[in-house]
Structure 1
Amino acid sequence: MTEADFSYSLIAGIFIVILTLMPTAGLRVDYVSSRKPYLGWACLAGFIAIAREVPDGFLGLYPESNLIYLASSFLQFLASLIFLVSLLRINGVLGKQEKAVLAVPVAAWMLAAIYLVFVGMPQSVAVWYFVTTPVIAVTLLIFLQLLRVGGDFSTSQILLLVSSFALLSLRAGMPVSSSMEIVYLVYFLELMLFPVLLTALHLSEVQTAHEKVKVLLRRRIQSEANVQFILDYSMDIIVAVNSAGLLTTWNKGAEAKFGFTSEQAIGKVHIDDFFVGYYCHREVEEYREFDSWMENADGETIAMKVRIKTIKESNRSYTIYMLRDLSAINEVVKNHAENKRERTARGQ
């Protein structure tokens, strides 16, 4: 290898490392945030693929070294095997059947390794296929596993299938390449396709997380709508304030009684402003109840039964005020008493 060829090979190796490192870092972030085991395995496969560039660099200097080729092929096989394990771990732990399937290419690679150590580099297409069969078999299993868990065939899933099939085709076709130029071309294409696989898996996880967030948002919106319905049609006036006393919730009963719309009240009006006389909002440790006079937007005073409860969460607290118009209650009681007297009089 000339000095220029070595420089080109070094630059290409650095490019492959960077190309592989980016999706590997993304998978690492996914794993840290979700703790899904299959993401950890995929991340490990990426790091092994990066480590493969070390013997590959020396292989450019010593192309006839069967030990360096053995190290390179081992890391290539191991990265593919670990990636297959990550796909198998998507739906849970590995069962006996999956472990038996994984044992077959491992045994085949051990036979190929023994051949490389004791015989040397292959000299025919048939022997090349014997040596590369383990990694081809693992790549085929990757493609079949992706077909099996295809699901709705999203964009990321299609990218996984296409890249795995392309990788399978390149690895299966490399032993029959007719010239060294084609061998190098297929080799670099094969190196670039594995990061594409990792990227597609990362995109698949991002897409899955995005769909889960959309579902949670829909549920939250529906839940908030249900809560707002209860608040709006409750017989009580229900408002909530933050720790400073500013209104954060304002139902229709409050609008009708006090004359302020939600836009006018929320975040702009302090709960103290509705009380006649001196009142200073403060959070209460336990449920509290008292009677008080309150004032609406027109300056009319209203006798209210006030019930307060402060709710504290991890990073915030808010106080709920449940207000009931005592004059309305008294009117109901008065009407009920009059109706009762009328019925009694008619009965006599």
Structure 2
Amino acid sequence: MIDTIKKHITEVENFSSTDIEAIEAFRIKYLGKKGLFNHFFSDFKNVPNEQKKEFGKTVNLLKTVATEKVNDLKEALENKKEEKGIYGDLTRPGEPLGLGTRHPISIVKNQIIDIFSRIGFNVSEGPEIEDDWHNFTALNLPEYHPARDMQDTFFIQTDPDILLRTHTSSVQVRYMENNKPPIRTISPGRVYRNEAISARSHCFFHQVEGLYIDKDVSFADLKQTLQFFTTELFGKSKIRLRPSYFPFTEPSAEVDVYWGLETETDYKMTKGTGWLEIMGCGMVDPNVLTNCGIDANEYSGFAFGMGIDRIALLLHQISDIRLLSENDVRFLEQFKSAF
């Protein structure tokens, strides 16, 4: 009898199946009410006394081995079923993944950074919450200077010396304070001005400002740099510089690019002139260099600044600047770029 039970134990240990019905039949055969375990257990009273101990151990071992075998096979089936539920048919073609899109502001900003990086400009950044010195005073705009009225500023009420920066020129001041010439850097970032929101203007927008400081820098260097930039970004090589005024540059100029008059949109954008204003520029005022700890007698330089939003409107023919900040997915999905 004991040898028969041991044969069944070996049979149980060797049993394997991935069929749930076969596993259930196996369970019933050994562990069911009329199964072999109960059959052997009921014969316990007929076993000679000297064999009862060994017989009992062998019968219990059969029950243990059969129970573990059934549990292991069922668990394996459950794991396989769960894996199939998660991944489905692994041979089926995958679902196509939609490519993400960049914001038009990011596209244009990255294009500008790429163009200037090719001629040695690095990228510098600074805080959007600034103090009066870096945003105004160091840039030749002392307190009560009338040119401050050109920029409607958001001041922090708890401290009149703290404000939201009105231009990224403040980043250039910080860069000049912490770096010695030669300096060649551009400063992209978001700026704030207390202006009425409309299709053409917003209370916050984005700028890129450039700065080049070295010995014997001239206005001719500035013009050639801007000529290269406009040709690379717009594909338009014809520019003009009109005299203008900025407190931190002298002389100063507005830069126009000849856009052309090929379409009705061109007439609207250029007001029928073909010329389009894109940025301001000029030679850095010696007072600004001195305020930042640079010897104005030894070094000179030029600076320029442009609005990224306005250029994005031009390049992508967007009619309303407010679309750039409304986060409408239908609008943003139109823009694909490698930048």
**Do Structure 1 and Structure 2 share a fold, with TM-score over 0.5?**
no
Comparing both structures, which one devotes a greater share of its residues to helix? 1
Considering only CA atoms, is the larger Rg found in Structure 1 or Structure 2?
2
Comparing both structures, which one devotes a greater share of its residues to strand? 2
Q: Which has the higher contact order (CA 8 A, sep 6+)?
A: 2
Q: TM-score range by the shorter chain?
A: under 0.3
Scaled by the length of structure 2, the TM-score of the pair is 0.24
